[in-house]
């Protein structure tokens, strides 16, 4: 049976990867540093010796690297930590994959592009606007250099069943709808994003691995996936309010480009033709995915309100 090691296995995408691969007959070893649940192995990826020892012990046929230092604002304040996680760890895993002759899939991001001329093709020259995008691009390069024939999958902003609303930059917006701050709040209606459900991304990771197993010499390099519905933060909030009948009068749209803070791409749409040529691609409609992901939080809020009423 095919043995798969998945890093970041307790995270939003990692949980979906573990579930999908297990349900499709793979033997899965999930690695996680924090929030370790039953069935996952505790490991600090930054401990290179421990990482090498554990991966050699597990002898995987496939390594999927989904762990990352991914919050752009935090990355800007911790450049050394970001490079250790987003560049050095991928290099170690690439060296291990080459040593063990294992397939390697590295999860990257649309933030490797500047968002100026979408859709961005897989072979376009990256031009990241922030350190997060830069370190993920360097992680791509380390992966492809130290394990020729490996796979890179660039994905957009992700959402899905979250353990807490701030786990995704999509679902975090729902928190302010449920508990609006005094005086209301403003969200951007400028930068365009293409959210993808982690269920889709996990399935496509598995399909990409399976395609490569059938054609190791023909399927390799950089692939991209993107959601199909363009949104801004403000239009996301509008959709969430409409789905759950929540008031929106305390939310206002900001259409002025930011003059400070971490720079982000204006329109990060990715071309997905590489995956589609392989017959890979699936899409949970955004409204459906948002409803599934946010319903437990809406019901919890309603229950709390009911319990507090006379």
Residues identified as active-site = 132
Buried b / exposed e along 98-109 (16+ C-beta atoms within 10 A):
eebebbbbbbbb
187 close to 250: Cβ distance less than 8 angstroms: no
Number of H helices, E strands in the chain: 11, 11
* H/E element, 82: helix 79-83
Taking residue 300's Cβ as centre, other Cβ atoms within 10 Å add up to 11
Q: Helix 89-100 to helix 131-146 angle, to the nearest 10 degrees? A: 20
209 close to 103: Cβ distance less than 8 angstroms: yes
65 close to 104: Cβ distance less than 8 angstroms: yes
Tokens at 218, concatenated: 């023909």
Query: What does the CA dihedral 206, 212, 214, 219 come to, rounded to 10 degrees?
Result: 140
The CA angle 133-162-72, to the nearest 5 degrees, is 20
Taking residue 152's Cβ as centre, other Cβ atoms within 10 Å add up to 24
- The burial of 277, by beta-carbon neighbours within 10 Å (0-12 exposed, 13-18 middle, 19 or more buried), is given as exposed
């Amino acid at each position: 049976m095919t043995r798969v090691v998945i890093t970041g296995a307790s995270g939003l995408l990692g949980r979906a990867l573990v579930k999908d691969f297990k349900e499709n007959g793979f033997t899965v070893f999930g690695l996680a540093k924090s929030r370790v649940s039953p069935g996952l192995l505790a490991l600090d990826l930054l401990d290179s010796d421990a990482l090498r020892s554990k991966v050699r012990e597990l002898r995987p046929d496939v390594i999927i690297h989904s762990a990352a230092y991914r919050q752009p604002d935090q990355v800007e304040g911790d450049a050394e930590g970001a490079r250790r996680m987003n560049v050095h760890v991928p290099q170690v895993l690439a060296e291990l994959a080459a040593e063990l002759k294992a397939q390697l899939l590295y999860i990257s991001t649309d933030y490797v592009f500047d968002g100026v001329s979408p859709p961005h093709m897989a072979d376009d020259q990256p031009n990241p606007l922030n350190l997060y995008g830069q370190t993920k691009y360097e992680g791509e390069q380390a992966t492809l250099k130290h394990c020729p024939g490996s796979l890179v999958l660039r994905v957009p902003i992700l959402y899905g069943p979250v353990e807490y609303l701030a786990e995704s930059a999509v679902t975090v917006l729902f928190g302010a709808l449920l508990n609006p701050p005094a005086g209301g709040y403003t969200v951007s209606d400028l930068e365009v994003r293409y959210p993808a459900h982690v269920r889709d991304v996990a399935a496509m990771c598995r399909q990409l691995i399976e395609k490569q197993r059938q054609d190791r010499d023909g399927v390799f390099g950089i692939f991209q996936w993107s959601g199909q519905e363009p949104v801004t933060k403000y239009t996301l909030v509008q959709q969430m309010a409409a789905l759950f009948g929540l008031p929106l009068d305390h939310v206002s749209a900001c259409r002025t480009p930011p003059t400070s803070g971490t720079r982000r791409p204006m329109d990060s749409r990715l071309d997905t033709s590489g995956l589609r040529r392989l017959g890979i691609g699936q899409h949970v409609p955004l409204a459906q995915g948002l409803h599934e992901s946010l319903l437990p939080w809406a019901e919890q809020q309603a229950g709390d309100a009911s319990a507090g009423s006379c």
